[in-house]
Amino acid sequence: MKLVAGLGNPGAAYAGTRHNIGQIVADNLAERLAASLTRVKFRSRFDLCSRSGEKILLMVPQTYMNRSGEAVSEAMHFYNMELADILVLHDDLDLPFGRLKVVSGGGTGGHNGLASIVERCGGKDFVRLRIGIGRPRHGEEISDYVLNRFYSDEQQHLEDIVSAASDAALAILEEGHTKAANRFNGMKLLPETEGEEK
């Protein structure tokens, strides 16, 4: 069994913001997996589904970002899962918009959601799909930048990026993170003239 958690903040005020890209991808992934994410448990919207014979718990924590680990650890312990069975979908400031990176383990890069999961789940050896949101272009404070919506030119490409991130998540589930990393890390999803400005 695998656990897939799309990180973000709950509530309409945060819908569509950069910090919620993990949730956006999780909702897209739910459509691919014929899951509804309407069940409520583990402080999350969730559903149980399967892919290629593998059971999957797909969840969107309804805690705030900095308490994501509370939701993930509840589900992990309920199903007696290992850290290696967890895939976390999250935004990443250090990747340009339009880039994806599959990694296993590593640091948190200052991401409060990842830090909470490391703390509450007892380790860092889970798989992450890092979804690039880039850095502010106009001198915005980071806290404001991540809680705002994407720039207008980014919005034009967001659907394709979310779809590619869902492809990457499915590849991780079906082929393992190493093969998925070989396919998706470094892949450019935008034209050369776009998505590179930070």
User: For the sheet containing 100-104, what is the strand order?
Assistant: 39-41, 44-51, 54-61, 2-6, 86-92, 127-132, 100-104
Catalogue the active-site residues: 19
Q: Give per-10-residue mean pLDDT for the chain (198 aa).
A: 98 96 98 95 96 94 97 98 97 96 96 98 98 96 96 96 98 96 91 51
Domain boundaries in the chain?
A: 2-184
Question: Between the CA of residue 96 and those of 91, 122, 166, what are the distances in Å?
Answer: 11, 30, 18
Top CATH class, 2-184: alpha beta
- The bridge status of strand 86-92 relative to strand 2-6 is parallel
**The pLDDT value given to residue 192:** 62
Nearest to 69 by CA among 92, 43, 48: 43
pLDDT tens, 171-186? 999 999 999 999 999 8
**The pLDDT value given to residue 189:** 87
pLDDT tens, 52-81? 889 999 999 999 999 999 999 999 999 999
**Do residues 117 and 109 lie in contact, with contact meaning Cβ atoms separated by under 8 Å?**
no
